[in-house]
Amino acid sequence: MVHTVEQVKNSMKINDWVSIEENYDKLNKQLEKVFRVTESEVVPRVYIKALVMLEDFLAQALANKDAKKKMSPSNAKALNYMKQKLKKNNKQYEVEIEKFRENPESEVEEDKDSEMMDQSETESEAGYSDEEPDKIIGFSDSDAGDEEPEGGDGPWEKQKTRKEKIMDKQFAKDPSEISWEMVDKKVKEIIAARGRKGTDRAEQIEQLTYLLRVAKTPAQKLEVLMHVVSAQFDVNLSLNTHMPINVWKKSVQNVLSMLDILAQYPNIVLEDAMDPEMENESQKGADYDGPIHIWGNIVAFLERIDDEFFKSLQFIDPHTKDYVERLRDEPLFMVLAQNVQDYLERIGDMKAAARVALRRLEHVYYKPQAVYEAMRMQSRSVTTGENIDDGDSELDDEDRQMTKFSSDMKGPPAFVSVLEIVPRQPSFPELSRTLMDQLLSLIYRVGDERTKPRAMLCDIYYHAVSEEFHTARDLLLMSHLQDSVQHMDISTQILFNRAMAQLGLCAFRASLISEAHSCLSELYAGGRVKELLAQGVQQSRYYEKTPEQEKLERRRQMPFHMHINLELLEAVHLVSAMLLEVPNMAASALDPKKKVISKNFRRLIESSEKLAFIGPPENVRDHVMAATRALSRGDAEKAIEVIQSLDVWKLLPKKDHVLKMLKGKIQEEALRTYLFTYSPYYDALSLDQLIKMFTLSESQVHSIVSKMIVAEELHASWDQPTRCIVTHNVEPTRLQALAAQFAEKLTVLMDSNEKAYEAYTGGSLDGPPAGRRKESQDYASVTTGRWQGELSTAQGKQSSYSRYGSTGQRSLFNVGRTSQSRVGGTGGYKDLRSTQGNVRGGTTYSSTFQSTRYQDAYSSVGRTPYQSGSSVRGGQTDASGRMVSLTRSGRF
Amino acid sequence: MAQYDLTYKIAPYLERHLVFPLLEFLQERNLYSDDQILKAKIELLAKTNMVDYAMDIHKSLYHTEDVPEAMVERRAEVVGKMKMLEEAAAPLINFLQNPALVQELQSDKQSNLQKLNERHQIGPNQIEALYQFAKFQFECGNYSGAADYLYQYRTLCTNSDRSLSALWGKLAAEILMQNWDVALEELNRLKEVIDSKNFSSPLSQLQNRTWLMHWSLFVYFNHENGRNAIIELFFQERYLNAIQTNAHHLLRYLAIAVIINKRRRNSLKDLVKVIQQEQYTYKDPITEFLECLFVNYDFEKAQQKLFECGEVIENDFFLGKQAQEGSFVTVPLRDEFLENARLFIFETYCRIHQCIDIRMLAEKLNMDYDDAERWIVNLIRNARLDAMIDSKMGTVIMGTQRSSVYEQIIESTKQLSIRSYMLANGVVAAAAATQGYNL
């Protein structure tokens, strides 16, 4: 660069404007390079010097008209060009140039030092350098004139802040002289600089923190605190990275001290919308009685802090110590949230309090009692054992330390010292349930459209974790969330999916196999569980994600400690599918109308049957397939052995219990499968032999066989004196079989006719229901009847059970556990949603078709992801992409 | 057996006065200690105006002659209030006691009110007073008076809420006077009102239904036709819904009503379903019996539960009503229940067996061999059982109950014709409608 400047000088001497221009451009390019290398935008001295020189020379050249005339045309052209360029360019560096002109040499050294300093400061900032290239382009491209004045802001700002620093030092020397106005003015200045390019955010924070100490009135202190926190949030601009942890901790402390002030001076009111007139209210002193309005929104701060916490957990590698360290900060947040909530309740802002309560809830709901206990103990030990953990306790005393520090060393004592009123120690109730109940009741009472369903889902999740399947299920069904969740935001949908998964696990532990299966099957229907649960990104074969989508998806990932173990989930799903599907397959092996319970499972079986050689099982799926093969032969022992060898079971809290349950179930289903498969080949079966074969008790075998006989699955009857099952197998003649088939086909035809009729007329047929639909149809009509009459007896409970088929209720969201004995006392959960009761009658028929089986109580529960999936399949094409990544159930 | 006692569950849904008979019954059965029950009684009476009675109970509870001050004061207060209310309502009562005048009243409420106002100076105030007075009478235990007044009040009342509570009052009074026929009428009237009325919130409607069901227990288990009616009422989906959400314990009564009702076999299936759904919240020997029998086909266990059922029924106020027959004290409902339950067991047993040892059967049915044989013979004779007895082997051999292939095909095609007929009709109707529309 220096070299180029020399060249400029030389050509100046010979008045060669062409080479000057060339060299000038070169110089600018080099400047750019320098900027890149040093990552600073302070203009090197040499450059300024060259500019000054050029300017002077230019003025000289222009003045000398004779010389101009003498110049060659190319030279003259270059001169004019140069004139324009220089004018424009020099505008940016006006200040520097001025300065340089004032004292050309003396400052050089000093400036260089500060440059170095700045450089190191700026380097520490993340994302800072990103902005540089833009600016440079602005520099060198003379056409982009608009940008240049802006670009010039950077260094100017820099200088100002440096000046401010000096001013601060002055302040520090003489604290008593600082008046309210001075502080106010200063704050405004700093705030004005906020958000501009080139503002050093870290420095801003420092300055503000200093101002905090000298703030004159509590109100002002609060005001400054507000700005400090917002400045701290500014430190990290990118959405994809998280805030530095120490900054996070500091901002937590700041919000806490905000609460201190608010608690100490109840007359200070925080307001979102601010009248300009009220701007100076913070002038009023501590003894002022009337209300003081300060701009600020503490809930927004809290939510931001929470989001940052969440984000940091997303980004920290879960297998490192950092992650654990970070998790330890959770109680800190809980304290803060608790205090904020208390404050909001005190001032009567219940809506916001409910939002905060939800935040707290979302930190608790996934924790079983043991984990909760651990958190509680940990938070206690942190606060009692002082300074053990450098994080919390030290920061707890930050206020105090700061004052001490400042009085000892150089700064003034804080003018407004605020006592620590707000408790710094979290007070967790002993049982997480108690905490949950507190929060939930608040949210149900005052929450809004978003918080209520979320709280409900958290509650369901929690119940599922704590083994209360029925309560969780009732809550889910009564809230009709599965109908409305598709219209909610993605994170709520994720929460819903998580709750469903957990509900499935819970059902499994409670040995409710078919419930577990129906909870989980839809989750697995599309094969994108990871995506549905937001536990990792899955690549799809059919569909490329755009980077934005991927980014979005990454952003909503669950932190690791909240994950539901996928392997366990898969094992549970497949095992329950196996238990249901294998006997079903055996039963309907020869039946033309096959009822498929789990399509997913069927697919797996087919693919495993295609294998020429079957190796020893490796993953969960192989294990289950091996067990399936054994089970379909009726070999219970082998199946049990294979299933029990799965590793994932050790993740279950009550492993032995569950395994025992599983063993029993497998034995039972093996018996059923055996009977289905082989009974046609027997004339009679002895009870004792069956008992021995399947190591079941006599009453169990008897009960199972009886059930099958009654359900006409098994054409047999007991011969009591000989303890035998006598089968009645009648082989139909060919004519009979054909006739039966013909009748069957006619029925199918009839069904489709009726369907078509309904599709055209929209109504259903009245009159005697026919055939196998009798039952479900009865139910459907009955349910709609009830719902029409009752609209919202607040209890859609039954509708749940089987009769979900009837669509009549789809549009009802009335929940409410009324004051029942079960809840104990009055009002559990009242009207989740306003009762929007437009019951559609009439269309009952078509929907009942789907749920002919009484057992699929859950069909609609489980169906949700699928439904939303189908609705999204359309959405995919129009590239709305809103829910795409979440609920594409992938039935292509 | 106290664990199966439902009094504490039922009581919240009843009127104070209605709980009283329940407590009396409990006292007789000796399920709880006398002291406990007497205390409960006093508490019950504290809010009512039956002060004299409360005093008596207090005396017997603490074995003293002293009565607490509060009670004496309350007595004076009650008497005073009664006087006051009586005066307020006097003009109207006088009017109503004159049958000639009452006959003048017409069906139109508005004109009646006008007439009253003009001729007899009886305005809304007096009518209100009548209501208050009736209520007071009821609280004092004078049910017949209360019932009369409430009846008359209803003819004059215009406020629907008031009229509803008057209905409740009337029903309670009739129940307490044990006028079952009248009570049944009132019950139906009340049911109509509840079902038709637009309640402010569905919640209160549900609440009302629950109350109604509880109160109806008094009526249904005492009225001769009540057993049909209870099934009808409880199986209405709205009420079933209420049971499942609010009052699972009512399933016991429903179950019993279904079991003892021979003509209502088909509702059994529904009942079992409901019981299964609710088994995690409510369980007692009766529902468990049904579950054992119809879900698990566990006959041993069903037998065992049946035994427990007997006791439960005896200890239930509504079910365990005793009848004196000479020197015997029997519980007719229990016997009926046991008989029917036995029949159920046997029937189910027969369905899945083709050959049964009578000896074993007798054991299961709690009969001796000859009785069992006679019983079965009777069943066969009444054509309720398709079976033969092999008396040499001591077994019953069931007839085959499988339907032949032909029957199956006929069955399925029969339905087809009905359905297609319906469909055709529907199409014709739709076509006619569109044609009419086009014209």
pLDDT confidence of residue A67: 57
pLDDT in tens, A704-754: 888 888 887 777 888 877 888 888 776 667 787 788 888 888 888 888 888
A137 has a pLDDT exceeding 50: no
Q: Report yes or no: A137 at the B interface, CB cutoff 8 Å.
A: no
Task: Provide the shortest C-alpha distance from residue B209 to chain A (in Å).
Answer: 10
Pairing mode of beta strands A684-686, A724-727: antiparallel
Q: In Å, how far are A4, A42, A122, A134, B214 from A47, measured between CA atoms?
A: 10, 11, 21, 20, 97
A411 has a pLDDT exceeding 50: no
Rounded Cα distance between B372 and B383, Å, is 17
Q: How many CB pairs under 8 A join A and B?
A: 155
Mean pLDDT of chain A: 66
Rounded Cα distance between B153 and B116, Å, is 13
B398 CB neighbours in chain A (<8 A) are 717
Rounded Cα distance between A735 and A633, Å, is 32
pLDDT in tens, A480-504: 777 777 778 888 888 888 888 888 8
A722 CB neighbours in chain B (<8 A) are 355
Closest to B425 in 3D by CA, of A757, A744, A846, A848:
A757
H-type helices in B261-365, by residue range?
Answer: 267-278, 285-291, 299-314, 332-352, 358-364
Helix, strand, coil % over all residues of chain B, rounded to 5 = 75, 5, 20
CB A522: neighbour CB atoms within 10 A? 26
Pairing mode of beta strands B395-398, B323-325: unpaired
H-type helices in A480-538, by residue range?
Answer: 481-484, 490-509, 513-525, 529-533
Closest to B176 in 3D by CA, of B212, B134, B146:
B146
Task: Provide the shortest C-alpha distance from residue B297 to chain A (in Å).
Answer: 5
Rounded Cα distance between A247 and A63, Å, is 58
H-type helices in A820-858, by residue range?
Answer: 844-848
Q: What are residue A292's phi and psi, to 5 degrees?
A: -115, 125
pLDDT in tens, B143-172: 887 888 887 777 777 677 777 888 888 888
pLDDT confidence of residue A200: 63
Residue given tokens 């205390």 in the structure block:
B39
Beta bridge partners of B356: B396
A350 has a pLDDT exceeding 50: yes
Closest to A20 in 3D by CA, of A88, A79, A98:
A79
pLDDT in tens, A248-275: 888 888 787 777 777 777 777 666 555 5
Q: Report yes or no: A748 at the B interface, CB cutoff 8 Å.
A: no
Question: Which two tokens mark A635?
Answer: 């070999």
CB A608: neighbour CB atoms within 10 A? 16
Which of A705, A818, A826 to substitute to test the interface with B, most B CBs within 10 Å? A818
Q: In Å, how far are A180, A255, A402, B103, B270 from A213, measured between CA atoms?
A: 12, 15, 8, 91, 75
B420 CB neighbours in chain A (<8 A) are 750, 753
Q: What are residue B16's phi and psi, to 5 degrees?
A: -55, -45
Are B281 and A470 inside 8 Å of each other by CB? yes
pLDDT confidence of residue A819: 32
- What is the 8-class DSSP label of residue A842? S
Cβ proximity of A387 and A401 under 8 Å: no
Residue A394 buriedness (CB in 10 A; 0-12 / 13-18 / 19+):
middle
Q: Which amino acid, A434?
A: T
pTM over 0.90: no
Beta bridge partners of A292: A268
Rounded Cα distance between B315 and B46, Å, is 27
Are A719 and B354 inside 8 Å of each other by CB? yes
CB B23: neighbour CB atoms within 10 A? 19
Q: In Å, how far are A256, B56, B131 from B142, measured between CA atoms?
A: 66, 17, 14
pLDDT confidence bin for A435, thresholds 50/70/90: confident
Rounded Cα distance between A294 and A222, Å, is 8
Q: Is A268 helix (H, G, I), strand (E, B) or coil?
A: strand
Task: Provide the shortest C-alpha distance from residue B336 to chain A (in Å).
Answer: 26
Cβ proximity of A132 and A242 under 8 Å: no
Query: In percent, how much of chain A has pLDDT > 70?
Result: 50
pLDDT in tens, B17-70: 788 788 888 877 777 777 787 888 777 777 777 777 777 777 777 777 777 777
pLDDT in tens, A648-700: 888 887 888 888 888 988 888 898 888 888 887 888 888 888 888 888 888 88
Minimal Cα distance from B205: which residue of A?
A: A793
The predicted model gives A301-306 an average pLDDT of 83
Task: Provide the shortest C-alpha distance from residue A384 to chain B (in Å).
Answer: 44
- Ranges A290-304, A422-436, A592-606, A639-653, most confident: A639-653
- From the list B297, B413, B426, the residue facing A765 with the nearest CB is B426
| Strand ranges for A132-278 from DSSP E | 268-271
CA–centroid distance for A166 within its chain = 45
Rounded Cα distance between B189 and B171, Å, is 10
A603 has a pLDDT exceeding 70: yes
Show the 3-state SS of A332-355. Answer: HHHHHHHHHHHHHHHHCCHHHHHH
Are B353 and A720 inside 8 Å of each other by CB? yes
Q: Report yes or no: A709 at the B interface, CB cutoff 8 Å.
A: yes
Note which residues in 833-862 of chain A have CB less than 8 A from chain B: 835, 854
Q: Is B32 helix (H, G, I), strand (E, B) or coil?
A: coil
Minimal Cα distance from A743: which residue of B?
A: B413
pLDDT in tens, A325-336: 888 788 788 888
A782 CB neighbours in chain B (<8 A) are 237
A794: left (phi over 0), alpha (psi -120 to 50) or beta: left
pLDDT confidence of residue A545: 66
Q: Angle, nearest 10°, between helix axes A620-632 and A655-678? A: 40
Task: Provide the shortest C-alpha distance from residue A818 to chain B (in Å).
Answer: 7
Closest to A558 in 3D by CA, of A869, A849, A822, A314:
A314
Rounded Cα distance between B367 and B363, Å, is 6
pLDDT confidence of residue B330: 72
Residue given tokens 């020099």 in the structure block:
A90
The predicted model gives A229-236 an average pLDDT of 72
Question: Which two tokens mark B389?
Answer: 């007895």
User: ipTM score of the complex?
Assistant: 0.73
Q: Is A718 helix (H, G, I), strand (E, B) or coil?
A: strand
The predicted model gives A807-815 an average pLDDT of 32
A726 CB neighbours in chain B (<8 A) are 354
Q: Report yes or no: A725 at the B interface, CB cutoff 8 Å.
A: no
Question: Which two tokens mark A885?
Answer: 């990544």
Question: Which two tokens mark A682?
Answer: 């027997």
pLDDT confidence bin for A887, thresholds 50/70/90: very low
Return the higher-pLDDT residue of B328 and A739: A739
Return the higher-pLDDT residue of A633 and A843: A633
- From the list A470, A740, A768, the residue facing B405 with the nearest CB is A740
Return the higher-pLDDT residue of A207 and A632: A632
Q: Is A114 helix (H, G, I), strand (E, B) or coil?
A: helix
Cβ proximity of B213 and B243 under 8 Å: yes
Are A717 and B202 inside 8 Å of each other by CB? no
Q: In Å, how far are A798, B14, B112, B313 from B9, measured between CA atoms?
A: 22, 10, 44, 16
Are B416 and A721 inside 8 Å of each other by CB? no
Q: Is A685 helix (H, G, I), strand (E, B) or coil?
A: strand
The predicted model gives A59-70 an average pLDDT of 61
B127 has a pLDDT exceeding 80: no
Q: Angle, nearest 10°, between helix axes B143-156 and B124-140? A: 160
Q: Is B355 helix (H, G, I), strand (E, B) or coil?
A: strand
Q: In Å, how far are A294, A418, A637 from A336, measured between CA atoms?
A: 20, 17, 55
pLDDT confidence of residue A470: 84
Kind plus residue range of the DSSP H or E element containing B388: strand B387-390
A831 has a pLDDT exceeding 60: no
- Ranges A151-160, A796-805, B337-346, most confident: B337-346
Which of B422, B434, B437 to substitute to test the interface with A, most A CBs within 10 Å? B422
Cβ proximity of A658 and A694 under 8 Å: no
Rounded Cα distance between A187 and A171, Å, is 14
Are B419 and A703 inside 8 Å of each other by CB? no
Rounded Cα distance between A63 and A22, Å, is 22
pLDDT confidence of residue A891: 34
Rounded Cα distance between A395 and A840, Å, is 59
Question: Which two tokens mark A399?
Answer: 């206020």
Beta bridge partners of A685: A725
Residue B330 buriedness (CB in 10 A; 0-12 / 13-18 / 19+):
exposed
Rounded Cα distance between A27 and A29, Å, is 5
Are A720 and B355 inside 8 Å of each other by CB? yes
pLDDT confidence bin for B395, thresholds 50/70/90: confident
Q: Is A294 helix (H, G, I), strand (E, B) or coil?
A: strand
Are A770 and B406 inside 8 Å of each other by CB? no
The predicted model gives B394-410 an average pLDDT of 73
H-type helices in A235-368, by residue range?
Answer: 245-264, 298-315, 321-327, 330-347, 350-364
pLDDT in tens, B355-368: 888 888 787 777 78
Q: Report yes or no: A786 at the B interface, CB cutoff 8 Å.
A: yes
Cβ proximity of A812 and A790 under 8 Å: no
pLDDT confidence of residue B144: 81
Question: Which two tokens mark B208?
Answer: 């009302």
- Ranges A11-15, A397-401, A733-737, most confident: A733-737
pLDDT confidence of residue A693: 85
Kind plus residue range of the DSSP H or E element containing A60: helix A45-63
Which of A717, A753, A777, A809 to substitute to test the interface with B, most B CBs within 10 Å? A717
B182 has a pLDDT exceeding 80: yes
pLDDT confidence bin for A869, thresholds 50/70/90: very low
Q: Which of A91-105, B150-164, B347-361 has the lowest mean pLDDT?
A: A91-105
Residues in Cβ contact with A396 at an 8 Å cutoff, skipping those fewer than 6 apart: A253, A383, A424
Residues in Cβ contact with A100 at an 8 Å cutoff, skipping those fewer than 6 apart: A45, A48, A49, A52
Rounded Cα distance between A170 and B324, Å, is 107
